[in-house]
Structure 1
């Protein structure tokens, strides 16, 4: 039988995001509470300022650009405290927001603009050239490429988003209401690790449901008031807002619950530690590479991080070794959650009190969720046995844009989303994710999860970072596990060092999980912005190594 959430399923309001956030009667904090704060410029937005700015931006879109329901606004920018107002201003005018990775090339951005059908682009001044060039390629007029943030064009050739707010005659316009079940709020694009990114269609109801799910998952532990300074909980936001993890867990959760979000444009370890110490940050959403840094980097010892009550890790599997290492070093507990772009994102989280009882688990199902683990033959697996996780709930996306084949493959007729992640659940309803279906290494009929080996290997004192892939070996007629290791300063790159790691791991894993493909030393592990290891790049590297060895033998 599929597993059901043990949380009470409170009714989901049948309203769009704007009404949910700004027309609510149960807001547990004052209008003048600072929600978004830039620690570099000291600029901030209170709840009232966000609402007013968003509403006026939405009116300006209608007045100046004749914005219509369903029009798409693209955001091509690092994190910025203007992002929430621009986002909800787009929604006020009936639009759909499509955030894009600011590290995209012109061609990558042009693909998303074309695929999403974007009518306009909001960026920041340092990214204006790429944004304008991509807009040209897809036919977006350059007067619809505007900027936000603290830098303004000194020649006023590029409009700042605030200029749209002051459009004459905009006061007469009224909000366009969205149908929460059918109308899209966001078009987020998957990371594209296995090909072209896919546009994930998320409705207003998807996001509203997930905000309520997040609130239940944190069980009232995060509050707008109280604490030692009376200011309530403060979250440090470095996770990218263009990714669904940052979009929902940071931007939306903070304004709904009344938390102050301290916004960093990108991750910097020293600034991360400094802001925690100076601003008394109490909670942070993180990813495994950050947990790894906190467990090993010498710089961390310079700072007092004791104000942190909890961290929540997501986006990739987190192992006991890392959780234990951070707690031993910093006394900071790290719980884990799970979600995907297609589920808005969060579907599971560990309850705060269970962070050290079920380490390695992504927690239990959040409200409204039904889930099951399935075999490759689509047979449901019993408790304790490994399969692919399928999930159903009001947070599951509407489908992939312009991709009916991909949608049909991902969604079942009865509403389950096939996550592509492999794992199992225990008898107490704790879920475990061991790896991606496509990333499992197949050694002579055995399945080897790379993430499991990586979790063990990073606990080696001389391993700074690591990724494991399968490399095909014709002599074995099978894939062999191989580790790519970033060594710490105390380790060289000799065959002796490699053998030491291979032998060390052999004593900790089953026979089929040994590193028969060996160890290769590298300067860096390629990762996506959300912390996922880009194994396809390492597979290319492995093929190049094999080719060069073959040529050397000729």
Structure 2
């Protein structure tokens, strides 16, 4: 479903009775939805009634019967209406189930460093410790300690994304914030909501930050109540951050964070030490090291290499996928992030590159290999390579380099992908037809060389 108050009720209610919710992008096609339902072995699907057609197509190819609960009046035979359930006094509340910290609590999907999305097993302990770490006074910029002020958070970042789930929803509720949900980003609705509610903290991704800076309809007065903002999910341009301060107020504290679904949040700008252009310092109880991308040896401060992390809030592993788990978590328990960066002498992390293949579109993960597999299904495509290219509004966008068996147009490829990929996975970065793709002797695609072809 899109963001709404009932989403939070269902998410936290499921966790409290020992069930394991697996959030799904509500923009997914029926095929993408079916894949996650099969992979997660889901038993029940909660969906917006407006998405009935997608759900119906998905149910037709489901391996096992699925119980459907609709957010609204559904046309699907046998579907329950969530509003009728919540309002019916005859339906008893379920008993809260005792669970251990190690028990699975929630299973968002992530592509990790490569490959298609996989179920990330996050325990009750992992969620709890992250909420507590993030809420620590040395980190949290909110004013919840002052009982005369209540934080108000704008929940427009999708609740299927770990940023929306953990940082906005769970940390917000834990610290006493009021959540105002928006079903999606729509400029006029977003602006009107900013004007109506006096938000003291904003949760942003770089495209939203860019929108605030560029929109003439958002003035200094619109954000007069804002004291701080947190930007995450993708690197922030220092130029854009300073443009925000110039337009609105130099006193607005800009926090940046770093993490990944597999390890949740590991770094944050300390509440007393703004450092624009970095991802902040380690949260309590989190360990990190930088290793050489060539030798795997540990590197000292200021040296650039792959970021490796250990945290009491990290995942148990990928759901029923030992090979993918072992490719990310080494024998000593370190998660290899696939991000390249360094810690400065003050302990601030700076991300400069990545070894992982993922494309970040509006802060959302996109797996190039997933797109490639679908494009190869086109009868005129011989081979394809997909990489991320810079995009003014989205940060990055997928671009395909295609070797065709016979003549095929860009338009035909775009049409072919329409009902197979969610909008953020489509080839917004363009299509180029080529005679060859750069590969190793063993046939592995050299994405870095392919990316250089876009420069």
* Residue of structure 2 in register with 1:152 after alignment: 73
Contact 1:113 1:135 in 2 (8 A): no
Deviation at 1:408, TM superposition (A): 0.4
Shift of 1:219: 4.1
Which residue of the partner structure matches residue 117 of structure 1?
41
- How high is the TM-score relative to the length of structure 2? 0.75
Tell me what 2:279 maps to: 362
Give the distance between the partners of 2:171 and 2:268, measured in 1 at CA. Answer: 15
Report the alpha carbon displacement of residue 205 of structure 1 after superposing the two structures with TM: 0.6
* Larger displacement relative to structure 2 (159-168 or 232-241): 159-168
**SS state at 2:353 partner:** strand
More helix by share: 1
- Higher mean C-alpha displacement, 297-306 vs 204-213: 297-306
What is the alpha-carbon root mean square deviation over aligned residues?
3.2
TM-score, with length taken from structure 1:
0.63
The answer to whether the 8 A contact 1:390-1:418 is kept is: yes
Asked if 1:232 corresponds to 2:157, the answer is: no
Give deviations 1:341-383, integer Å, cap 9, x for gaps: 001x21111023322xx21111000011000111122101111
Tell me the secondary structure at the aligned position of residue 241 of structure 1: coil
| 1:48-447 map, 5 Å | 77-141=1-65, 144-148=67-71, 151-153=72-74, 158-165=79-86, 166=88, 170=92, 174-181=95-102, 183-190=103-110, 195-216=115-136, 219=139, 221-224=141-144, 226=146, 230-301=148-219, 304-331=222-249, 332-343=252-263, 345-355=264-274, 358-376=275-293, 377-438=295-356
Distance 1:431 1:162 in 2: 46
Is the Cα–Cα contact under 8 Å of residues 52 and 74 in structure 2 kept in the other structure? no
3-state SS, counterpart of residue 180 of structure 1: coil
Q: Which runs of 5+ in 1 are unaligned?
A: 1-76, 441-449, 452-480, 488-532, 548-554
Q: Distance in 1 between matches of 2:218 and 2:196?
A: 14
Deviation string 1:105-163 (CA, Å, 9 cap, x unpaired) is: 11100000000000010011101221232133114546x11112xx4349996311244
Q: Distance in 2 between matches of 1:138 and 1:368?
A: 42
Deviations 1:187-227 (A, max 9, x none): 10115895421111111111001101110166454244758
Q: Distance in 1 between matches of 2:80 and 2:345?
A: 58
Residue 382 to residue 193, structure 1, CA distance change in 2 (3 Å): closer
Conserved in 1, the CA contact under 8 Å of 2:120 and 2:262? yes
Rg (Cα) greater in structure? 1
Contact 1:288–1:314 (CA<8 Å) still a contact in 2? yes
Aligned length: 378
Contact preservation (8 Å) 2:52, 2:76: no
State how far apart, in whole Å, the 1-side matches of 2:43 and 2:21 are.
11
Per-residue CA deviations over 1:295-334 (Å, capped at 9, x if unaligned) read 2232324962111111110011112111111111111442
Following the alignment from structure 2 to structure 1, what is the Cα–Cα distance between the partners of residues 20 and 312? 19
1-structure distance, mates of 2:157, 2:135: 19
* Structure 1 residues 335 and 225: alpha-carbon distance in aligned structure 2, compared to 1, 3 A threshold: closer
How do 1:507-546 residues align onto structure 2 when only pairs under 5 Å count? 537=427, 541-543=431-433
Conservation of the 8 A alpha-carbon contact between 1:274 and 1:303? no
